[in-house]
Amino acid sequence: MLKIQNLHARIEAEPEGEILKGLDLHVRPGEVHAIMGPNGSGKSTLAYILAGRDGYEVTEGSVLMDGDDLLEMEPDERAAAGLFLAFQYPVEIPGVANMYFLRTALNAVRKARGEPEVDAASFMRMLREHAERVGVRPDLLKRDVNTGFSGGEKKRNEILQMSVLQPRFAILDETDSGLDIDALRTVADGVNALRGADRGIVVITHYQRLLEYIVPDQVHVLVDGRIVRSGDSSLAKELEATGYAGDTAPAPAA
């Protein structure tokens, strides 16, 4: 369902330094993939490029989602097509109530898909259920989006959005960073609840910890803009023991 081939990308403002240097990844429906790697290896860049953030330039390669060229789509079109990015640093939006934001997001996506909008009353019922499941306190629904939320509350709020929007394909960018063990479990439960035969999930993480709760089908090691090693979930445990020291970037192809 997601097919990345030979992806090369750089930051527009820094045309000299390529960050992704020929990345390949193929996620089939029903699969959970983990991408691990040291700081600066290009993990977050990959997440932003998939979600369509401005400021990055793809110089080579392709990204197909369900056969469609993802890179040609606007960020909101990607969301409508079922893509979801859980942000590493969720943005605070003062002046916009969380509840309203969630419903607007859901209805925007539904509208784009030609589905009827959800009315306020049924939305509230659904939202309360989801919020309880992912451990978001009711008062946080009334507050402005992420404004004054703790780090953990912001991450839970991302999982809540994911749970409400029910994306076809989700990318979690270091959702585990800064979480205590209880929050980590709740986040993992939220992700596991989303696992299904026609969904794909990519979990980007620094540590193996989260992968004890979300057991991936495949683990990839990203170093210097390329995937240098892939394996099953045991690879994550191995990396936890040895670190990334053994995984150096391969010599550029001649």
Partner 1 sequence: MPIRHFDPAPGYAELFQAMRGALPGPADLRQESFERFAELGFPNLRAEAWKYTNLKPVAELAPSAPRPASLTVQDVADVFIGGDDVHRLVFVNGHLAKDLSSPVPVPAGLSITTLAEGLAVDPALLAEPQTDRALTALNAALAEGGAVIEVAAGTDVQPLVQLVFVTVGDGTTLTNVRNRVVLGAGARLRMAETHLAIGDGGVANIVNTITVGEGGSLDVDKLELGVGTSTLLAHTRARLARQARFSKTTVCVGGGLVRNETHAHLDGSEADLHLNGVYAPAAGEHVDTAIRVDHRAPNCESNQFYKGILAAGGHGVFAGKIFVDQVAQQTNAYQQNDNLMLARDAELDTKPELEIYADDVKCSHGATVGELDEASLFYLRSRGLDQAKARSLLTFAFAGEIIEKLVHEDSQHQARRALLGRLPGGHDLMELV
For residue 89, the minimal CB distance to partner 1 (Å) is: 8
For residues 86 and 223, which CB has a smaller minimum distance to partner 1 in the complex?
86
For residues 58 and 215, which CB has a smaller minimum distance to partner 1 in the complex?
58
Kind of pairing between the strands at 18-27 and 200-205: unpaired
For residue 243, the minimal CB distance to partner 1 (Å) is: 32
For residues 55 and 196, which CB has a smaller minimum distance to partner 1 in the complex?
55
For residue 88, the minimal CB distance to partner 1 (Å) is: 12
Instruction: Please provide residue 72's backbone torsions phi and psi, each rounded to the nearest 5 degrees.
Output: -85, -5
> CA–CA separation, 84 vs 71, rounded Å?
15
For residue 162, the minimal CB distance to partner 1 (Å) is: 10
Q: How many CA atoms lie within 13 A of 73 on its CB side?
A: 20
Cβ-proximal residues to 17 (8 Å cutoff; 6+ apart), any chain: 10, 11
Cβ-proximal residues to 29 (8 Å cutoff; 6+ apart), any chain: 1, 197, 198, 199, 200
For residue 170, the minimal CB distance to partner 1 (Å) is: 12
> CA–CA separation, 5 vs 224, rounded Å?
16
For residues 87 and 149, which CB has a smaller minimum distance to partner 1 in the complex?
87
Chain residues binding partner 1 by CB under 8 A are 51-55, 74-76, 78-80, 84-85, 87, 90-91, 93-96, 100-101, 104-106, 108-109, 112, 120, 161, 165
CB atoms within 10 A of CB 46: 27
Whether the Cβ atoms of residue 223 and residue 38 lie closer than 8 Å to each other: yes
Could you tell me which residues are beta bridge partners of residue 173?
Answer: 204
For residue 82, the minimal CB distance to partner 1 (Å) is: 10
Could you tell me which residues are beta bridge partners of residue 99?
Answer: none
Q: How far is CA 65 from the centre of its chain?
A: 14
For residue 233, the minimal CB distance to partner 1 (Å) is: 28
Side chain identity at residue 56, one-letter code: Y
Cβ-proximal residues to 79 (8 Å cutoff; 6+ apart), any chain: 105, 108, 109, 112, 165, 167
